[in-house]
Structure 1
Amino acid sequence: MTDRTVHLPVSAQPTVADIVGFAQRAEDRGYRRAWLPETWGRDAATVLSAVAERTDDIGIGPSILNVYSRSPALVGQTAATLQELSEGRLRIALGPSGPAVIQGWHGAEFERPLRRTREYIDVVRAVLSGETVDYDGDIFTLGGFRLRCDPPETPVPIDAAGMGPKSVELAGRFADGWHALMLTPEGIRDRLDDLRRGAELGGRDPDDVRVTLSLTCAVSEDGERARELARQHLSFYVGAMGTFYRDALARQGYEETAHEIAAAWGNGDQAAALAAVGDDLLDDLGAVGTPEAARERLAAFERIEGVDRVAVSFPRGAERGEVEATIDALAPDA
């Protein structure tokens, strides 16, 4: 069986201590790593510092840091610091995100995302080596940068996130792992072909590239409540977050559904957007429902050849008790 990890809730939480509490709970329940999404709430570096200080064994990592809002040298420094605080438990994930986030929220041009991600990985690795960084790329040019502290004794693996064929190929060619999200089982298999092609282009063994699948999970004794949370989550991301997720669904055989959701959101009809998310789509993209049903569906994703880690993630509308119930029900030893 693959190892289970957890994506800490992307939704707003009352305090940083609440987020840390979820990580501690996941550690107690046997999860291997606590990933922290960085969206429009608290920044990942600060919160992961608190998680590192208040846990003992669980791995930590941001998933994802976008490659536009920070310089790669700064991310290298941040990774070195978090690796020190966590005593070697860090793994980071980088990715371009999408225009709605980069242009709309950060005021940066969403230009050459694949090339930028590739060079970003190069620079972060160079910084973490502790050597002087002299880098001359198409996008980044650095000269004379060097850490003023010792580089990490334990190397920091660098993963890349991506949903499209070329971005996944890039992960296979240049990164230590690939973070997959909003993919059906068939969609994962298609992208795994892209990952293997990238690894071969880079002269690498595809088995050396770790695949982490982020899976929307919601568990409740009231199975319909769990499924409703997942519907709300999916319709929001497809309808309100630009074309990024809509295009991903369309590539996986749900083009009509994706456009129906987006059109309903665009017309301000959230009820219609929710209604467009059918049971087949919910089961193709997550593990939601009663504890028994969710465990069975999660196990099916774990059996997909080529998936190394499944990260239990939560709908944005899930309340604290619902997050805790899902962590408990889907724990590795549950």
Structure 2
Amino acid sequence: MSTREVSLPVASQPSADAFVALAQRAESLGYDRAWLPETWGRDVVTMLATIAARTDEIGIGPSIMPVYSRSPALIAQTAATLQEVSQGRFRLGLGPSGPLVIENWHGVPFVRPLRYTRETIEIVTRILSGEEVTYNGELFDLSGFRLRCDSPEPRPRIDAAGMAPKSVELAGRFADGWHALMLTPDGFRDRLDDLQRGAELGGRDPDAVRTTLSLTCCALDDGERARKLVRQHIVFYVGSMGTFYRDSLARQGYEETAHEIYDRWQNGDREGAMNAMSDDLLDQLAVAGTPSAARDRIETFAALDGVDALSVSFPRAGKRDDIDATLDTLAPE
């Protein structure tokens, strides 16, 4: 049985207190963990520390913290501190993000993302163990230091995000878990094979690698509005956020649709991009509709073999009332 988690909606919150209130609401509804993405708004570390201080039980974590925006040592220090202040409720999600954010916002070259992610995970894992770290990688060289504070107990687990076969294989080989995003059931099964292969390459038990499937969700009495909001969200990512989402969708058997959405969006035809996504594809990627339909649909994803946690996320144009209604509808029973 998969657990139910929530990915807080970074785009639609007017204040830090609003994030805290959503995390508190999720905690009261029985969600197991609150994830927070880091893009170009509020920083994830301050927000997670604030949430930790104002909640009691819900787990917390970044999904994801980009590996290019902080050094591996600073990521490890941050993980140790957040584990301490949350009293053991922290889990670390890492990934490369994408070139648009990394190069145009952080001003850092988006180079060798797989190697960058692998070395970051390896270094963070060693630092969090409390040992003195000597690491001679292709990108990083560290020697002579260990954490100045006590190493956290338990050690925070580290997840890696990935959509492409090699990035998912990397998660299975080096991380404690995998964050999956914008995958159909068949697409998830295909990538699960990559995860298992990675675990075997790393000499690990594939069943010990935790999988978190993030789903864009909207459950409203006005089911058509819910579906429109989710369709807008998916089309925005496929059409405008680089080529990762486009290529992932193409890889799952929707190449013509993926390129039509991308091309129409890039040419300014937003309505045409929206129309290119069929209702069937929407239901393969997300949970959207009336409360009854949304509850039925999310159970289909929950029943997938290999899913350990479902993370309920929200369309970027959703309002607070939409988020609250969806949280309530899809809360764990």
Residue 217 of structure 2 aligns to a residue whose secondary structure is strand
**1:10, 1:314 within 8 Å by CA — same for their partners in 2?**
no
Q: Deviations over 1:139-185 (max 9, x none)?
A: 11112222221111211000110000001011111100000000000
- Give the aligned residue type for 1:32: D
Distance in 1, Cα, partners of 2:10 & 2:58: 19
Unaligned 5+ segments in structure 2 are none
Task: Give, in whole Å, the separation in 2 of the partners of 1:41 and 1:278.
Answer: 32
Q: Distance in 2 between matches of 1:224 and 1:38?
A: 30
Alignment of 1:238-317 (within 5 A): 238-317=238-317
Distance 2:300 2:37 in 1: 24
Deviation at 1:293, TM superposition (A): 0.6
TM-score by length of 1: 0.98
- Please say if residues 250 and 256 of structure 2, whose CA atoms lie closer than 8 Å, have aligned partners that are also in contact: yes
- Measured in 2, the distance between the counterparts of 1:100 and 1:247 equals 15
Return the letter of the residue paired with 2:31. Y
Aligned to 1:103, the other structure's residue is in SS state: helix
The answer to whether the 8 Å contact 2:183/2:285 transfers is yes
Match of 1:5, SS state, is strand
The aligned residue for residue 60 of structure 1 is 60
Q: How far 1:39 sits from its partner (Å)? A: 1.1
Alpha-carbon distance in structure 1 between the residues aligned to 2:26 and 2:87: 18
- Alpha-carbon distance in 2 for matches of 1:225, 1:271: 15
DSSP 3-state at the match of 1:180: strand
* Match of residue 129 from structure 1: 129
Shift of 1:96: 1.1
Unmatched tracts of structure 1, length 5 or more: none
CA distance in 2, matches of 1:178, 1:133: 25
AA aligned opposite 1:91 = R
* Amino acid in the other structure paired with 1:83: Q
Alignment-derived partner of residue 82 in structure 2:
82
SS of the equivalent of 1:215 reads strand
> In the alignment, is the contact (CA less than 8 A) between 2:9 and 2:316 conserved in 1?
yes
Q: What SS class does the counterpart of residue 87 from structure 1 fall into?
A: coil
Instruction: Find the aligned partners of 2:28 and 2:35 in 1 and give their Cα distance.
Output: 15
1:103 aligned residue: 103
Q: Which residue of 2 aligns with 1:186?
A: 186
- For the 8 Å contact 2:4–2:32, the answer to whether it is kept is yes
Once the two structures are TM-superposed, the CA of residue 98 in structure 1 deviates from its matched residue by 1.6
CA contact (8 A) 1:182 1:215 kept: yes
Matched with 1:48 is 48
How many residue pairs were aligned? 333
Offset at residue 131 of structure 1 (A): 2.0
Deviation at 1:82, TM superposition (A): 0.4
Native 8 Å contact 2:178 2:210 kept in 1: yes
Q: Could you state the TM-score of these two structures normalised by the residue count of structure 2?
A: 0.98
Q: Which amino acid aligns with 2:55?
A: T
1:10 deviation in Å? 2.4
Q: CA deviation at 1:237?
A: 0.3
Deviation at 1:104, TM superposition (A): 2.0
Output the CA distance in 1 between the equivalents of 2:4 and 2:73. 31
* Partner SS for 2:292: helix
Shift of 1:65: 0.7
Alpha-carbon distance in structure 2 between the residues aligned to 1:288 and 1:173? 34
Report the alpha carbon displacement of residue 251 of structure 1 after superposing the two structures with TM: 0.2
Confirm or deny: 8 A CA contact 2:166 2:194 kept in the other structure. yes
Deviations 1:224-281 (A, max 9, x none): 0000000110111011101010000000111111111111111112111111121011
Q: What is the CA-CA distance between 1:28 and the residue it aligns to?
A: 0.3
Question: Which secondary structure state, in structure 1, belongs to the residue aligned with residue 104 of structure 2?
Answer: coil
Q: 1 CA distance for matches of 2:134 and 2:263?
A: 48
Deviations 1:165-206 (A, max 9, x none): 001011111100000000000000000000111111111110
- Paired letter, 1:23: A
Q: Give the Å deviation of 1:12.
A: 3.5
SS at match of 1:77: helix
Aligned to 1:139: 139
Moved over 2 A (4+): none
